[in-house]
Amino acid sequence: MKYRNNLPLEVFAKYDLQKQKQYLFLILKEIEKSDTSSFANLKQDFLDLLKISPFIDAKLESDIGIASNKETLINSTFEHFKELFQAEKDFHFLQANTNINIKTQDSHCHKTIHPLILILHNLRSAFNVGAIIRTAECFGIEKLIFSGYTALPTHPKVMNTAMHTHNKIAWEQTPCIKSTISSYSDKGYTSYALETAEPSVSLFTHQFQQKNLIIVGNEALGIEADILTLVDHIIQIPLFGWKNSLNVGTATALAIYEIIKQIQPSSME
């Protein structure tokens, strides 16, 4: 389902309750992206459709009517659309504060590229792959390499989670991870496996070199032992709770941040 500007009321009235609620939520997503010039029209469109739906009550109608900005309107409707809000990826709203300048637009400036290469080996979740692509692009890593059955950036679920970053970062697919590790070693890259294995070095205390290759592996099975023997170091992230490992996307983000902080400290200012 897609949002249509000025959907006829008689068409909306024929939708079943679930479809009506989903369509109203689509308008809320448009409102979230709106500027001051389009907010008023979207608000009125939302209110007109809401009045002929079973989701309206006097208080909600009043709250929406007096809402002067998108943050207030979203907060007013949240309880009525809670399950849809909470299921939506990266759909969040920030409270207005006149003393804080909140960035809402992506950068169009030339980005910094860091000599850090990431191999994604046998990841089973396309959503994790998309999250890692987004993180990698945001931090300006040099390249992503896809190995084994890891979903590629062209996979629809990867593209969705990557939030338009899948085509803004260099990537390639390798038929043989072992030869890829060897090739980058010859080019002066220090290779690491991000894994809960011993012997290992701590992400928090290890001193990284300027050119680094990081391998992350399967969420449940990890990285194969014969691959671990090929890398220069195994990295572990010190943990202090009951669980012995992090989600692969979270762990990768921590590793990328720490490495770039060390090799390009000026980039983190």
pLDDT category of residue 90 using cuts at 50, 70 and 90: low
Residue with tokens 């449940």: 220
**Residue 94's pLDDT is what?**
47
**Alpha-carbon span 269 to 265, nearest angstrom:** 7
Q: Pick the residue with more confidence: 124 or 99?
A: 124
**Alpha-carbon span 93 to 170, nearest angstrom:** 31
Q: What is the DSSP letter of 195?
A: -
Residue 229, classed as helix, strand or coil, is: coil
Q: What is the pLDDT of residues 174-188, one digit of tens each?
A: 999 999 999 999 999
Residue 202, classed as helix, strand or coil, is: strand
Q: What is the pLDDT of residues 207-243, one digit of tens each?
A: 998 999 999 998 888 899 999 999 999 999 999 999 8
Global pTM?
0.67
**Residue 3's pLDDT is what?**
83
Residue 116, classed as helix, strand or coil, is: strand
**Alpha-carbon span 72 to 68, nearest angstrom:** 7
**Alpha-carbon span 169 to 186, nearest angstrom:** 23
Segments making up each domain of the chain, as ranges: 9-87, 114-268
Residue 50 near residue 56, CB atoms below 8 Å: yes
Task: Taking residues 27-35, report their average pLDDT.
Answer: 86
Taking residue 130's Cβ as centre, other Cβ atoms within 10 Å add up to 25
**Residue 142's pLDDT is what?**
94
Residue 10 exposure: Cα atoms within 13 Å on the Cβ side: 0
- To the nearest whole number, what is the mean pLDDT of the chain? 87
Please return the burial class of 120, using the count of CB atoms within 10 Å of its CB with bins 0-12, 13-18 and 19+. buried
- Looking at residue 70, its amino acid is K
**Alpha-carbon span 149 to 129, nearest angstrom:** 11
Superfamily of domain 114-268: SPOUT methyltransferase, trefoil knot domain (3.40.1280.10)
